Structure 1
């Protein structure tokens, strides 16, 4: 039997924030994968090495975590007033699907840098030295992101002294602005899809013995279900081994996530949650307290306004998803949400929260207008750099 050689696809492997992913220019993909559908999904799964029943991604570019099982497709924007279109795929580790339902906030940082590296931004918009404001159209959710990317001698400046908890080495700071991050009313409703800042969410008794749990359900950055850590028997100081090593806890969180998705209008039946793993996210919040983070560093009670732990693709995240940080900043800015109350209540334009790897500050501009809360933008700083560039190879019959 004759075997065909592998094919080569131009690609760039990048870190963005606390995530990594494989970046492609749309025009570099094989023709069948240039449009949404099974061929595109199959190609990206093979690149990452999914589905992998061993959960290791040994035969692919993925890292066997939700933070490292990601692909991005970019092209010059078709939307007026934008430089690039940015499409993000969250590749399941052990199941055969790619979730296109949301954005990756961390890789939004790398999207801005990649746009410049790949020549997708008009040359007249790129300064020789200074900051280039890359106008990104986030195609998954139909939102605008502004990435303020430092440029030196006409090239992206990747090195610097900006430190980000969850990333070992310093790099150049990239400021992200998520414009009008709340939901516009489609696929799940408004910013608060139930119309309430805090809901009494009906859940199975495995989640809470009473069959009810307080939750803030918000569509901003990414659909997120916030609950109080204490209601689940947690402190808000937990690290990955404590949650990810407990199958019963993970099953409990998945039940909570599915029932929250139903309440938010993101799914019509609980069974749909299994193939919509990327959204919504589940996070639990608590008031500050001193504890040790995953690096061994001691975090003081006064270092943060609140503690947050979030799950992504069924596991506790090692730091914080960028889009979830947008949800945290937005919810913190609105008096009365569980996030706001954990941070001490009242009006605030920014919040510094503790996560398993350290701390992160995120800002949001919120106002009460026409009988409802509106958020004009959320702001945070990340960093990004190219790890490898060239081509990925996959078998010819992969898609």
Structure 2
């Protein structure tokens, strides 16, 4: 056997940190550590991130990259000193498709947001004067994808980010330090929280049916439908949906028509290149169920059941941005989410997802017949999994 082979360019290495944030994990970069042509939006940046994560992978495994072959583990974040006044860092999120060659920049990842503050502090992107020796560092984040402010309250011990603790988050196996996160003005007064102008619409999907739907833009554009209308109870776990190809195709078609009605795309075909947004979710009243880990949750422990799909699959827990949409919709009487709670005044809601429960609060108000949400608050956790360099083959080879 001949050992003579064509000489290829060596791999390049880029400083990176692999982090868990909430129920997601992804590869974090300091913007200035990226190759120069990848420090700006464009094909070079997308190609790099695809190769880092291991996409596109027709096998759907991302074996040759850092991705974990699920929507919640196929993520990237780029952090930089903020260009916005009164903010510490800018945070740009890239959702990497698993089996297709594209990176979706159309929305945020609320779960990874919980890790942005600690990454920024540890990377020297937050002014030392703002970091206490012991206590909490308030990191002001400008979320560039959606042009919104997010505040992360990061615990500090002896001048360093404290990652360990006893805060438990359903969907995450081990406890860690609690990181409260505030999503400030997820819908500001200049925007339409309900793009169609209605709390509930009739969403007609040719060949499938017509569904009542609450379509809201808060945190992330989301379409809510009653579980019963889809033939579900609302207590379903991942396998019940993700093993059913017909069901997944049906959800994707509904999502595409909903995206058109929300004005996010002009043609349903465009949904194929906008997989990250909108999300589609189904809701049901509170009821007993067993989580994916075998834990029994009683109906009186929760306000409602919610299941959401991300990148074409049922999520194992709940996307943080979708939780913002859930809290916002629950706080507004008449939406399908609020109706599912059976309550008329909801400022904080505890909803069930496949892995357990999550409590999230929203401050909503009605002014001149227009609903606005000033803030949504939830607690997550985050920690560094690995740090050093990520290596990829030279993309020009």
TM-score interval, smaller chain: over 0.9
Aligned mates of 1:171, 1:143 — CA distance in 2: 27
Aligned mates of 1:45, 1:151 — CA distance in 2: 34
* Distance apart, 1:168 and its partner CA: 0.2
Aligned mates of 2:267, 2:346 — CA distance in 1: 37
Aligned with residue 326 of structure 2, among 316, 321, 328: 328
Map of 1:46-85 to 2, 5 A cutoff? 46-85=51-90
Residue-by-residue CA offset, 1:118-160 (whole Å, 9 max, x unaligned)? 1100110111110111000000000000000000000000000
Q: CA RMSD in A?
A: 1.0
* Distance apart, 1:20 and its partner CA: 0.2
Q: Which residue of 2 aligns with 1:200?
A: 202
Aligned pair 1:89/2:94, yes or no?
Answer: yes
Aligned pair 1:357/2:355, yes or no?
Answer: yes
8 Å contact from structure 2 (residues 331, 364) kept in 1: yes
Q: Which residue of 1 aligns with 2:3?
A: none
Residue-by-residue CA offset, 1:230-287 (whole Å, 9 max, x unaligned)? 0000000000001000000000000010001000000011110000000000000000
SS in 1 for 2:169: coil
8 Å contact from structure 2 (residues 54, 62) kept in 1: yes
* Distance apart, 1:397 and its partner CA: 2.2
Map of 1:144-293 to 2, 5 A cutoff? 144-182=149-187, 190-206=192-208, 208=209, 212-293=210-291
* Distance apart, 1:398 and its partner CA: 5.7
Aligned with residue 16 of structure 2, among 6, 11, 15: 11
8 Å contact from structure 1 (residues 336, 345) kept in 2: no
* Distance apart, 1:204 and its partner CA: 2.0
SS in 1 for 2:72: coil
Aligned mates of 1:254, 1:315 — CA distance in 2: 9
Q: Which residue of 2 aligns with 1:310?
A: 308
- Where in structure 1 do 4 or more consecutive aligned residues deviate above 6 Å? none
SS in 2 for 1:161: coil
SS in 1 for 2:187: coil
8 Å contact from structure 1 (residues 87, 138) kept in 2: yes
Tell me the matched-pair count.
392
Map of 1:35-50 to 2, 5 A cutoff? 35-50=40-55
Aligned with residue 301 of structure 1, among 299, 302, 317: 299
Aligned mates of 2:64, 2:192 — CA distance in 1: 41
SS in 2 for 1:302: helix
* Distance apart, 1:303 and its partner CA: 1.2
Q: Which residue of 2 aligns with 1:347?
A: 345
Where do 5+ consecutive residues of structure 1 fail to align? none
Where do 5+ consecutive residues of structure 2 fail to align? 1-5
SS in 2 for 1:277: coil
8 Å contact from structure 2 (residues 189, 372) kept in 1: no
Q: Which residue of 2 aligns with 1:379?
A: 377
Aligned mates of 1:236, 1:204 — CA distance in 2: 24
8 Å contact from structure 1 (residues 104, 322) kept in 2: yes
